[in-house]
Amino acid sequence: MMQNFIYIIADAKTREAYVVDICWDVPGVLKCIEQLKLKLVGAIITHYHFDHTGGKPPPPYEKYPVTVDGIHTLTRKFKNLKVYAGPGDATTLKEVNGVAGEQIVETTDNQEIQLGDTTMKFIHTPGHTPGSQCILVNGCRLLSGDTVFIGGCGRLDFPDCNGTHMFETMQKLKRLPDEIVVYPGHKYGGTFSTIAYEKQYGAIRPLDRLTWTQTYNPAPPPESQ
């Protein structure tokens, strides 16, 4: 069963908050923000997939009569709110998710946003999607979307996934300090991890390109006649 995590990054002093991957229950998330007496000032997506942004599932699941609530509802409700997306996913966010172009901000790699005493840094991590990004908060907590899962990485079998880019992304993330706490986009085997743990057991452990590819992005089995 697929369980997504939605995160709220807030500064304790200014009470300003950004919501990450708002989806499934937009009113519920807004109620939570209100109850915490936070002021929503922006939205971030880790990547464009419907289970993180809303919309309809991709083929072959499009036959299921489900439309997931998400970023579209939020941006319609708050027309001045900006959505921060990786450049490779920005066009999809506009064309598929229907977010108005003027509300989308394409992030740059290592771009920082200051929120009172809180610093958010975008780290571009292409692979699972072209515009996947992680968010490093105060240099110590990494919201990893579908890039790093506990003991693994995001799927690489969708049409616009790129295993070569994902391998490069893993090399980039393994340079982060060991003590960083990792918060993935799905509840696969727990709620959080650390860079140290992932460097020992996960997809950022030291593997050469061939071994990594065989482990995380194996070729599909040949079609049987």
Which residues of the chain form contacts with Zn ion (CB under 5 A)?
49, 146
CB of 2 to Zn ion, least distance (A): 10
Give me 61's structure tokens: 């699941």
CB of 146 to Zn ion, least distance (A): 4
Burial (0-12, 13-18, 19+ Cβ within 10 Å), 20: buried
| Nearer of residues 89 and 146 to Zn ion, judged by Cβ | 146
Q: Which residues pair with 10 in a beta bridge?
A: 17
| Nearer of residues 49 and 165 to Zn ion, judged by Cβ | 49
CB of 47 to Zn ion, least distance (A): 6
| Nearer of residues 10 and 154 to Zn ion, judged by Cβ | 154
CA angle 153, 103, 90 (to 5 degrees): 35
CB of 160 to Zn ion, least distance (A): 11
| Nearer of residues 11 and 146 to Zn ion, judged by Cβ | 146
Picking from 90, 194, 189, 91, the residue whose alpha carbon sits closest to that of residue 142 is 194
- What whole-number distance in Å separates Cα of residue 166 and Cα of residue 154? 9
